[in-house]
Structure 1
Amino acid sequence: MVMKIDRDANRFREIVRGKIRENLRKYITHTEMIGRKGRDLVSIPVPQLDVPHFRYGKNQGGVGQGDGEPGQPIGRGDEEGEGGQAGSDPGQHILEVDVTLTELAEMLASELELPRIEPKGQAKISEEKARYNSIRRVGPESLRHFKRTYIQALQRQVAEGVYNPRKPIVVPVKEDRRYRSWQTTTEPQANAVIVYIMDVSGSMTDDQKEIVRTESFWIDTWLKSQYDGVERRYIIHDAAAREVDEHTFYHTRESGGTRISSAYEAAVQLLERNFPNDEWNTYCFQFSDGDNWGEDNRRALQLLREKLLSRCNLFCYGQVESPYGSGDYIHALEAAFEPFFENLVLSEIEDRDAIFDSIKKFLGKGK
């Protein structure tokens, strides 16, 4: 039986989640929630909501005691405060709400109308699982099936004529005991690897990297909801490329030139070495301000066409607008590939407000 207070608490949680859905675009385009991310939960600050509660003050003489006149202030409200001038606007109540990453993915899918991803047919890794789907006469006591044991004992006593309906006492003996048993089955487990590539040359500022970090958080959240296992790898580059950890990916800035082909070469080597194409669904997300050494475009486009697009479910290129970058590379991609490669998606990200539409463009094909 559910108590009224539990029903009220559940209703309040639904109101809170409705508030989050209403403001999801704001949360997507800002970083206020990423810093509150735990292993499976994200703490979201929701404004203008508060849990109803009693607030106790300092009473003088108790309630209803002593003489008084109509309109006379009660308690300490008539004393002059020690702080500054009183304000005229109501305060803003901020409530920290824990939301699971699964719930966030569902909200994201609903808001962006994202189709569920269909994994590649051959990209499966078999995983052995034990399923308790049979009964045996022997086994450990921890797996004894009490219902089956009772039924077996009852059937035996009825057959032997010793069962008394007026005194329905059933006493199992050793031969009556039944135990749960298992069979090992092989199940397909869809896996995905996400390769993030970012230009960290001098023209990419901290603001551009923060946009990349925000968009990557939501990409991770969605893909993790679609696959049993997700691996993430990070590649940074200026004129040369290298694989790094997540922290280094978002906090490195170099002063050299830009050769995008070096990042593609590193990505190809990483995938061929660790993630066979017939076992993994592969996603690449490249972020850049569009700068590239002019003579390198030919080599970069060749690697993309011959080595990467053929093995990727999606290759997404996001061009982050920078005051220092030329922005030319996205035009080279459009000229070389569109509309011939359906798994290549291009997006121009002018500012934080463009993150929402960029995510929808990247993930909206359901690949």
Structure 2
Amino acid sequence: MGLEDDLERYREVGEKRRQDLTEFIQYGDLGDSRPDEVKVPIKIVDPPEFVYDPRDIGGVGQGDGGTPDVGDPVGEPEEAAGDGDDGDDGDEPGEEGADHEYYEMDPEEFARELDEELGLDLDPKGKEVIEETEGDFTDITRSGPASTLDFERLFKEGLKRKLAMDFDEEYIKEALRVEGWGPEAVFEWARGEHIPVSRAWIDDADGSIPDGERSRWVSIEEMEANVDREATAARIRREGIEEIPFRRSDERYRYPEIVEEREKNVVVVNIRDVSGSMRESKRELVERTFTPLDWYLTGKYDNAEFVYIAHDADAWEVDRGDFFGIRSGGGTRISSAYELAAEILDEEYPWSEWNRYVFAAGDSENSSNDTEQRVIPLMEGIDANLHAYVETQPSGNAINATHAEELERHFGDDSNVAVAYVQGADDVVDAIYTVLSTEDDDT
């Protein structure tokens, strides 16, 4: 085993020691990652290496000139850094920070691992048609090019008609030999017996009966008792089929099924309260909750777009870089954010073409009656796979922090509205699970 093999083996050991995903979400440094690359710290296991003792410098070949003669004093060896008695000259045991590298995963891998750890099973549905292709020739139409005529179907339809129209000709002719019966009587009798013979055929057959045979049977009952009626299947096996009666109405033409390939696309509207009450600890909890949600949905969908809305008493759109850090000194009117979200979604992301998620976060403080009179009706009016509100209150509920409770009370067990509470980092993963496990599979 060479040195390269050793290094690879030690790196595999290090990757196995990467930070647990839920621990990373709760306490890790999310800022080192990018929207398309999640960087989870791993501890590096230092591979063994050969080093010289700094007190053992010298010997053959260790310098040209200055080598002392036998008996000359060489002085005391210098202390290595950290080896002295003075505590200021080196780190105490355990004080040195561990070296880290990163295990890099794309959002798809992040989503798979989070699914596994949290037991999620989100199955995104495609909406926007990006391509139509011709599939198998499984659909049928009444017209088309001759090359697509379904001969098998045509034959079956003709065969069914042949079997439905077939009858025992000799049996009918024996009825014409009943004394006193003519074509009219035989036709009425045949109709009663459900024999599919036409009057014209009976008239033609009557002309072929010799006069001496027209009184062979005294009655129809005598004829039926002495003549067996041959079944159609037995006669076909004996005689075969000379022709099959096809009709134009039997013709069917195959054409390919049109297969629509739909892109699994999503727009995520992230809303954050940036009013004066949203201090740094609250903002950090919003970032720690929303960032993994963004990664997860990016990994789940073919195309993910994000809209970031900040609000105090008014709302405005911001870029991602400003979303988590911005702070205002104004009051709070959460409905302003939903008004802006509805406008953006209607103009740029129609519900018929886009999956939609609307996530909002704040400390649940809102202006009087705004939740009941404005926010709830707006949420009900915005079509979305999922609405979610995440309350971030590190110190627990404040007196005026009622927004989340009002939403929970109104929507109850609604399958596309989630309400989660985060008081600290320990609650983040549970909040993420609450949000992602709420979406109705049929949405």
Q: Does 1:28 align with 2:101?
A: no
Say which SS state the counterpart of residue 278 (structure 1) adopts.
coil
**Match of 1:179?**
none
Q: Deviations over 1:323-366 (max 9, x none)?
A: 56722011111221112x20101100011221111111111346
CA contact (8 A) 2:11 2:45 kept: no
Task: Give the strand-richer structure, 1 or 2.
Answer: 1
Distance 2:313 2:333 in 1: 5
Q: CA RMSD in A?
A: 3.2
Aligned ranges for residues 173-322 of structure 1 at < 5 Å? 187-297=261-371, 298-305=373-380, 307-308=381-382, 311-321=383-393
**Match of 1:94?**
99
Distance 2:100 2:433 in 1: 28
Distance 1:356 1:269 in 2: 31
**Bigger CA drift: 237-246 or 102-111?**
102-111
Find the structure with the greater CA-based Rg. 2
Per the TM alignment, residue 78 of structure 1 is displaced from its structure 2 partner at its CA by 7.8
Per the TM alignment, residue 264 of structure 1 is displaced from its structure 2 partner at its CA by 0.9
Distance 1:120 1:186 in 2: 13
Q: Does 1:349 align with 2:422?
A: yes
Distance 2:109 2:3 in 1: 24
CA contact (8 A) 2:358 2:388 kept: yes
CA contact (8 A) 1:125 1:190 kept: no
Give the letter aligned to residue 119 of structure 1: P
Q: Deviations over 1:283-340 (max 9, x none)?
A: 11100111111121212111112x12xx21111110000556722011111221112x
CA contact (8 A) 1:283 1:315 kept: yes
Distance 1:276 1:290 in 2: 29
**Match of 1:50?**
45
Q: TM-score, normalised by structure 2?
A: 0.59
CA contact (8 A) 1:236 1:263 kept: yes
Per the TM alignment, residue 76 of structure 1 is displaced from its structure 2 partner at its CA by 5.7
CA contact (8 A) 1:31 1:214 kept: no
CA contact (8 A) 2:26 2:425 kept: yes
CA contact (8 A) 1:289 1:322 kept: no
**Match of 2:158?**
none
Q: Deviations over 1:78-110 (max 9, x none)?
A: 897487255552445322124122433333222
Q: Gaps spanning 5+ residues in structure 1: where?
A: 66-74, 130-184
Q: Call closer, same or farther: CA 1:264–1:87 in 2, change over 3 Å.
A: closer
Q: Call closer, same or farther: CA 1:78–1:303 in 2, change over 3 Å.
A: closer
Per the TM alignment, residue 263 of structure 1 is displaced from its structure 2 partner at its CA by 1.0
Q: TM-score, normalised by structure 1?
A: 0.70
CA contact (8 A) 2:286 2:362 kept: no
Per the TM alignment, residue 195 of structure 1 is displaced from its structure 2 partner at its CA by 0.4
Say which SS state the counterpart of residue 324 (structure 2) adopts.
helix
Q: Deviations over 1:180-234 (max 9, x none)?
A: xxxxx97321101110001111111122111111222211111111111000001
CA contact (8 A) 1:45 1:94 kept: no
Distance 2:35 2:361 in 1: 26
Aligned ranges for residues 49-88 of structure 1 at < 5 Å? 49-57=44-52, 58=54, 59-62=56-59, 81=84, 84=88, 86=90
Distance 2:270 2:80 in 1: 62
Give the letter aligned to residue 130 of structure 2: S
Say which SS state the counterpart of residue 388 (structure 2) adopts.
strand
Q: Does 1:124 align with 2:128?
A: yes
Q: Call closer, same or farther: CA 1:237–1:78 in 2, change over 3 Å.
A: closer
Give the letter aligned to residue 50 of structure 1: V
Distance 2:302 2:390 in 1: 26
Say which SS state the counterpart of residue 84 (structure 1) adopts.
helix
**Match of 1:155?**
none
Distance 1:364 1:204 in 2: 27
Alignment: residue pair count: 294
Distance 2:271 2:286 in 1: 10
Give the letter aligned to residue 97 of structure 1: Y
CA contact (8 A) 1:239 1:259 kept: yes
Calculate percent identity across the aligned residue pairs. Answer: 32
Distance 2:321 2:376 in 1: 29
Per the TM alignment, residue 266 of structure 1 is displaced from its structure 2 partner at its CA by 0.6
Q: Gaps spanning 5+ residues in structure 2: where?
A: 63-76, 134-258
Q: Call closer, same or farther: CA 1:120–1:128 in 2, change over 3 Å.
A: closer
Distance 2:35 2:364 in 1: 34
**Bigger CA drift: 238-247 or 106-115?**
106-115
Per the TM alignment, residue 239 of structure 1 is displaced from its structure 2 partner at its CA by 1.1
Aligned ranges for residues 144-155 of structure 1 at < 5 Å? none
**Match of 2:115?**
109
